Structure 1
Amino acid sequence: MYWSEIKKIIIVIIGALLNAIAMNFFLIPAKVYASGFAGVAQLLSSLFATFASIKISTGILLLVLNIPITILAWKKVGKSFTLYSFLSVVLMSFFMEIIPVVKVSPDILLNAVFGGVIAAVGVGFTLKYGASTGGMDIIAMILSRMKDKPVGTYLFSLNAVIILTAGYIYGWEKALYTLVTLYAASRVVDAIHTRHNKLTALIITKKSEELKAAIHGRLVRGITTIPAKGAFTNESKEMMMIVITRYELYDLEKIIQSVDPNAFTNIVHTEGVFGFFRKD
């Protein structure tokens, strides 16, 4: 258990470092904007410098924006997820303060693509190991528990505000390159983890009772069991079907590994859920 927690902390540190590198070496020098709260912090930093002659770093603004979200998450989501997510934000802000802003390439397209890809690798692995990079991921987690509505709508709306504001003030070319960054990032995160908010796990096991007890001890999710039989061995088993959010995938994997390492699990992307889906 301790090694699992240490590994998660290491992944959070690496993810935060990759995000800081993407921002300070590629996106900020090229004035290409990231998605989510990082993009909001980046845009606010530019607006303060342009219209108020106040220089506030993107890293500091990112930390400030995440504080109220973290307090809300502490009450609504859970302590473990919130702590790791806030640790990720604090580390990213710290790395952005100590790493100088350097223009690696004069080519804005290279900056947009590499910035998006490097940031997405950090985000993807952080999500894969059961944490998040804060901001919209925390809001998505809260909304997934409060309302059964697509989180993508909120993320799209926030990114649209970033792109339109940046385009109107600093030129539409920057806004178009920001779209390139968002597309590259979404493809990489999808490859490493998943962009789908809900997932269906189909678990075939001989230890269904132990597994049900372990899942209900960690996750507040309903489980449907279906009798199953192995075609080759003719052995009787049970298939457990459970719908989860993407933020619960790491915990579910750990539960299955600890109770029944020989269980066969198929994770399916879920487009929508009709009927009762627990959100608390």
Structure 2
Amino acid sequence: MEVAKKLVVIIFGAVLIAIALNVFLIPANIFASGFTGTAQLLAYVLPVSTGILLFLLNIPVAIIGWLKIGKAFTVYSFVNVIFTMFFLEIIPIIEISSDILLNAVFGGVILAFGAGITLKYGASSGGLDIIALILSRMSDRPVGVYFFVLNAIIVVTSGLLFDWEKALYTLVTLYVSSRLIDAIHTRHVKLTAMIITKKPDELRKAIHERITRGITRIPAKGGYSEEEKEMLVTVITRYELYDLKQVIHSVDPQAFTNIVETAGVFGLFRKDG
């Protein structure tokens, strides 16, 4: 049931991404961020559709993600890419408004909602998410740096291909979509989870079976009940947050979990993943 629920959300996210592109962004010559925007740009210079190009761009990324990020995350992300390609091919490109600003805003909102709920359920829309995460682990630079570089290339290229006014509207779409994704999910790539539980052994084992991260165990005592407990502390990426929630809920639904933003990590985090 959990897998089925996850697949339904991922497919629904793909539908929203396809609608945002074919109904709002593509008719107005406005570009999305990441690999989706890259596929849009290539579709204007190559005789291939945006959906097919998005699929082809993600094939090498999926292979790298399988080796470097994690099998489950990569598989679900690629499923999202496949269904996005499918819906891009069957949903017609139509223009419901000639107002470029409306297309930029509504396209960005719908695109972000589709990508955001996909992230919330432990997958991504592929492409840049996976590449940025890998590069961040290799260099210890923030993931935002890589998002900024690729999106800057998309904005500049759209300005050169069309006009700089369209490039500015592309910036509007990128801003709207990034803000909404932050609201739906979380913009912080690394998070610290502090889990207070009465079942530390079972929970530690279950977490290690789903997530390859180190865990620190700290003795704890209830301030009111005075019960003996343990606090498990681990640092995860935002892509692993969904899996962690599912593990905690299945092993110890009564566990108290605090998720906090992590500004930086030193040590073996990069090598653990």
Distance 1:156 1:145 in 2: 17
TM-score (norm 2): 0.95
1:94 pairs with one of 81, 86, 92: 86
Percent sequence identity is 64
The 5 Å alignment of 1:1-280 reads: 3-48=1-46, 55-279=47-271, 280=273
Q: RMSD of the TM alignment (CA)?
A: 1.5
Determine if contact 1:27/1:112 at 8 Å carries over to the other structure: yes
Deviation at 1:104, TM superposition (A): 1.4
- CA offsets per residue over residues 69-94 of structure 1, 9 Å max, x none? 11222232333222211111111011
- CA offsets per residue over residues 225-272 of structure 1, 9 Å max, x none? 222222222222222111001111111111111110000111111121
Cα pair distance change 1:26/1:34, threshold 3 Å: same
Q: Secondary structure at the match of 1:17?
A: helix
Q: Secondary structure at the match of 1:30?
A: coil
Distance 1:9 1:183 in 2: 28
> What runs of 5+ residues in structure 2 fail to find an aligned partner?
none
Distance 2:190 2:213 in 1: 12
Determine if contact 1:198/1:269 at 8 Å carries over to the other structure: yes
Distance 1:140 1:225 in 2: 31
Distance 2:123 2:211 in 1: 16
* 1:163 partner letter: V
Distance 1:64 1:119 in 2: 20
* 1:34 partner letter: A
